[in-house]
A and B are shown apart, each in its own frame.
Chain A
Amino acid sequence: VPEIADQDVFDGVMTVIKKHSSDQAACQSAGLDSHLLDDLHVNSARIVDVVLDFEDAFNISIKDSDIDRIRTVGDAVALVKELKK
């Protein structure tokens, strides 16, 4: 299975986050350091939707304990890449 490119993961992650963010303007300028709750205004309930959509979009399974690790866009990209290996 070819390794998924960083840019593809980032784009896929941002597509999901945009769907659940209440601040579309912030999503337009989001980077790896953007914090999901504080910067992109994804509330705690929508974080769960983000995780479930990651599972569907990337065909992975994310444990509850791994959700702790998703604080920034970069954290999400790293987790998806790790679980896709």
Chain B
Amino acid sequence: VAVFIGNDIVDLRGESETCHPRFARRVLTDYEYQEYRLSHDPHRYLWTAWAAKEAAYKVVRQSGDRRVFRPAAFEYRRCTGFVQYGGRSITTEVRAAPDYVVAIANLGSGQYTEVTRVIEGVLRNKSDRSILPCSGILPLESVVARHLIATILASELRCSSADIVVLKDQWGVPEAYVKGKRSCVALSISHHERYVSIAIGLPDNYPESKQRRR
């Protein structure tokens, strides 16, 4: 039993309205573009749709479709909570905060948990970075994401966070290794400007899991 998970976060302050004038028309479907034009807050609508589409794309990629992201091939239906892609309906939850929007898409059978943090807020100070695995190799946002994943997974699996390593496969999809063995836990990482968001999908009947339910 597999679960696939994808997330995407957009820092609305960082994503200023400086994008190309044809950006919205290019990335939105006709249906979405109509919603965008009628929206009382087009900026927020645009980036909500973008986050939902990219989260759904990550699910599709994780499930084996390796095509490059074509935003207009995905259609976000706010009223149903689905993103449509190639005849598939991908459940996509959107959470909106004043400064950011985060979308979490999933397919398959299982539960998921999602955490969003201010990057700098995760570490008490930047010097903490030196004690984290992968520090010095990866950018700060990636280190923070891995730290969050290891902490949460360690709690779920009742092991030490030192037992958990997050690597990316050849397609850039993150994978969790627990005590050296590749886990069937699904992971997704997104960061943008001030924020980092991680999503963890646990398949039903995952033996070591406490099966935290949301």
Chain A contacts to B: CB under 8 angstroms: 43-45, 48-49, 51-53, 64-65, 67-68, 71
5 extra A-B contacts, CB within 8 A, seeds A48-B27, A51-B26, A52-B22: A45-B10, A45-B50, A48-B19, A49-B19, A52-B26
**Docked CA distance A48–B68 (Å):** 12
Among B10, B15, B23, point to the contact of A48 (Cβ < 8 A).
B23
The residues of B that contact A49 with a CB separation of less than 8 Å are 19-20, 23
Binds A, one of B30-38, B69-77, B176-184, B198-206: B69-77
Tell me which residues across on chain A come within 8 A of B27, comparing CB atoms.
48
**With a CB–CB cut-off of 8 A, which chain A residues contact B68?**
67-68, 71
Knowing A44-B69, A67-B70, A68-B67 touch, does A52 contact B20 (C-beta < 8 A)?
yes
- Considering only CB atoms, which chain A residue lies closest to B22 in the complex? A52
A-facing mask of B1-36, CB < 8 A → 1, else 0? Answer: 000000000100001000110110011000000000
Residues in B neighbouring A51, C-beta threshold 8 A: 26
Interface SS of chain A: helix, strand, loop or mixed?
helix
B192 at the interface (CB under 8 A from A): yes
**Interface SS of B by simple majority:** mixed
CB distance from A85 to the nearest CB of B (A): 23
B15, B54, B68: residue with the most chain A Cβ atoms closer than 10 Å: B68
Q: Given the complex of chains A and B, what is the CA–CA distance between A68 and B66 in angstroms? A: 11
Tell me the bound Cα distance from A19 to B67 in angstroms: 26
List the A residue with the shortest CB-CB distance to B15: A45
Cβ contacts under 8 Å, B71 to chain A: 48
Kindly provide the distance from the CB of A57 to the nearest chain B CB, expressed in whole angstroms: 12
Partner of A43, one of B22, B26, B70, B192: B192
Measured CB to CB, the closest approach of chain B to A50, in angstroms, equals 9
Taking a contact as CB atoms under 8 Å apart, the answer to whether B20 and A64 are in contact is no
Chain A residues near B67: list those with CB within 8 A: 68
Residue of B20, B50, B72, B192 near A53 (CB, 8 A) is B20
Alpha-carbon distance between A45 and B72 when the two chains are bound, in angstroms: 12
- Output the nearest chain A residue to B27 by Cβ-Cβ distance: A48
Q: Give B51's nearest chain A residue, CB to CB.
A: A45
Q: Which residues of B contact A68 (CB under 8 A)?
A: 67-68, 70
